Structure 1
């Protein structure tokens, strides 16, 4: 088995590691057992300014690097991630508590994203524009926005960074990355791989820290794009800050996704999909299928089958092959989840499974929560409306297709949804009506580098992955050339 190797935890600014100021550090602990892992910098506004300046300087030459050369470097980075995937996966599991087999898959998927965007780096085509006049020539070009600030969450640092960094570099941007202070270690390890891949100095900069660093990153007018993954409240704060400098923002925020099981569904597949949607990764995914909407005629059997699986889920050390659910990412997150579980009783929901901390003395002193299922959850209740970000499933019955769609759309979120049916017409009909950035049919929690991902409503805006992600880091320039030899009337617009 790969042994844990902790990375250099110093920030990366202009290809140099910044010495830690031990008066300004953040402690990183493992949610598996609460053990101390590392100290990382709590960056000052001045250090953030330096990182943006480094990226700004590097952009002058990086923007002129050919697409084929950017592609070569991205392929090289992907190869290095694959080569070091076991180390990266173990580091991420230790840092945020996700299953090792999950983080192993995410490491390989991150590499796939870098390869996908490497293939697009030399295909950033503009187009010619046919104008009404014969004596004018018009064309567009797609150009990088400049310095991109990339802020990631703690639940999937490797993959979330790949969603942002791969298209930003392919587009020709330089970047300043800030990982969550809760789980920053794989991002800091990536700094070495970026250097080994051969990216020029200052193209990728990494800062760590809390509020001061975040404010400095999101209020600097030199930034060309901010991309953030995290909570709605923080996304709103970033949006307000960016509005002051008119910097465009990509926001991938929360979700309260509905997994809808119709009466004609393949129940074996639907039950498995429901379990995957909420208990995989301990429910700590923005796409978690935290609301299970089940047709009246099959609600009892579906709910009990899911409950039976939930009661038998093996909770433990996420590094063990037999473990099916590890800890949540922090003691603070554990406390928040349990608080929301307690609130569910107030709204009249009925607890079917779980609802607390595992009663297992053999578990280490980490941040563990039982798989939890509530039934009889009213669509307007807090449990059905607010994101828990933990292994808590809210089950609601519906009578017909129209009601299912109304309940599914009846939240402030719109990130993802699932539809389980054998009826092809119904699948297309319901998918068309659901207000969500992603609709899965007869599957759930399926990701692809080629498929665009993002939300609507309070789940955010903009897209990651897919060719659409490149548009977040490019702007269109129009060039119009008058080919005639005539002198125009200076007091009338030419059109």
Structure 2
């Protein structure tokens, strides 16, 4: 690994944090594998990055979207060439299975391709004027310097779906990734550097709370796009409210799959296994609740437990592994605490329930895939995000009761229904209080050109991905020209 990848990237140069402080980056699958010491930045570093972005803004804005898109296209070409290298880095520092990491690289490439294609449509409309000899139209302008604060669970795809539209819009940016996944973000920035991006247009500040708070407080930052927890997102929004800071917040999820009494149970089980245990449940759209009609519950559980109990837990780079570790000991302990709390509330563990400990496993953050039945709909496990391989199974007495339970949480990221009834399918889509809806398919993710968006406490501000994302990075203007 190049030593410069452990540094910040400000105004076209790789540099240490002003304080000289670093943070150790450790493989969650093997604590003996240390990737290195990465910059631990503070407010001074963030402010310098903002200054660089502000200085680069006029020339970048003047370049125009079509020429800006050429940099995105070149970055996509370079990322495709380095796909295996980047996927290996994701697996090593985040822990996910290598096939999942490869899928994340492909998602990032799809986002780049889609975003670059928007360059020729990123305009406004002409409208009739009320006055004679007047030309009336609308157009967009970039909002300015933006702070992009990203999580560890998708360390390439989520930064990419912020960086790409920000740059195409004509904004300049400071990327502040999670301190748990600094290498992947450095590789992303390096790709854009190699693509010829002008100095200062995209800056990287590694670190944690201090750097993030400085971005929120800096008056030159026009907007913050954040993906992460509800608590941090609320703090960002309220912290910038006094200066009308624009925010785009994608927050938590407590997503339900509703399994009706007429569902294809084999397909439902396939979807739940993928949604609940893919990436060890560490997705905002992960399936964390299966709300199952009591008439089919026992058959569903027999099929589900047989599948889940057979999942092999192991390192992401082991082809035999089917479930990866969680990202660190904090998430491991939180998952185990959630399981213990569910048992106190009356839940019954059907499989899993503890750390995965085998002689062949290195010391790491391994949690057994866990299914818990008889979970009360209003208990903590059924209401609060776990972000681990833990599935709550909640009984429902019919379709209406299932929808009520699905909507009982404060979040609204994803909603899924399995049913053979066309009427129920459309009614579920209508009644689910969630941003991304699925019928008879896994309830995770969306396409690069569809809005990635939640409802209720899962989202504030415009969606990510899709053409609607530009409503965050640009502001509308209207003009009337007399002639």
Do the structures match in fold with TM over 0.5?
A: yes
Matches within 5 A, 1:243-392: 243-392=241-390
Shift of the 211–20 alpha-carbon distance from structure 1 to 2, 3 Å rule, reads: closer
User: Could you say what the CA RMSD is over the residues aligned between the two structures, in angstroms?
Assistant: 1.4
Asked if structure 2 preserves the Cα contact closer than 8 Å seen for 1:416 and 1:437, the reply is yes
1:473 aligned onto 2:470: no
Cα deviation code 1:436-472 (max 9, x no counterpart): 0101111112431111011121112221111111211
Tell me what 1:493 maps to.
Answer: none
The offset of 1:137, in angstroms, is 3.2
1:459 aligned onto 2:458: yes
Q: Secondary structure at the match of 1:479?
A: strand
Q: Secondary structure at the match of 1:383?
A: helix
Q: Secondary structure at the match of 1:435?
A: coil
| CA distance in structure 1 between the aligned counterparts of 2:193 and 2:209, rounded to whole angstroms | 28
Asked if structure 2 preserves the Cα contact closer than 8 Å seen for 1:7 and 1:189, the reply is no
Matches within 5 A, 1:89-128: 89-128=87-126
Shift of the 450–386 alpha-carbon distance from structure 1 to 2, 3 Å rule, reads: same
Matches within 5 A, 1:156-167: 156-167=154-165
Q: Secondary structure at the match of 2:5?
A: coil
The offset of 1:347, in angstroms, is 1.3
Tell me what 2:447 maps to.
Answer: 448
Cα deviation code 1:164-191 (max 9, x no counterpart): 1111111111110011001111111122
The offset of 1:5, in angstroms, is 7.3
Asked if structure 1 preserves the Cα contact closer than 8 Å seen for 2:18 and 2:44, the reply is no
5+ residue gaps, structure 1: 484-495
TM norm structure 1: 0.94
The offset of 1:48, in angstroms, is 0.8
Shift of the 22–176 alpha-carbon distance from structure 1 to 2, 3 Å rule, reads: closer
| CA distance in structure 2 between the aligned counterparts of 1:474 and 1:443, rounded to whole angstroms | 34
Shift of the 323–6 alpha-carbon distance from structure 1 to 2, 3 Å rule, reads: farther
The offset of 1:37, in angstroms, is 1.3
The offset of 1:17, in angstroms, is 0.8
| CA distance in structure 2 between the aligned counterparts of 1:318 and 1:450, rounded to whole angstroms | 28
Cα deviation code 1:127-149 (max 9, x no counterpart): 12324333543221111111111
Match of 1:52 among 33, 50, 53: 50
Asked if structure 2 preserves the Cα contact closer than 8 Å seen for 1:20 and 1:40, the reply is no
Count of matched residue positions in the alignment of Structure 1 and Structure 2:
480
Cα deviation code 1:354-375 (max 9, x no counterpart): 1111131211100000001110
5+ residue gaps, structure 2: none
TM norm structure 2: 0.97
1:31 aligned onto 2:28: yes
What stretches of structure 1 move > 6 A for 4+ residues in a row?
4-7
| CA distance in structure 2 between the aligned counterparts of 1:231 and 1:46, rounded to whole angstroms | 25
| CA distance in structure 1 between the aligned counterparts of 2:76 and 2:470, rounded to whole angstroms | 18
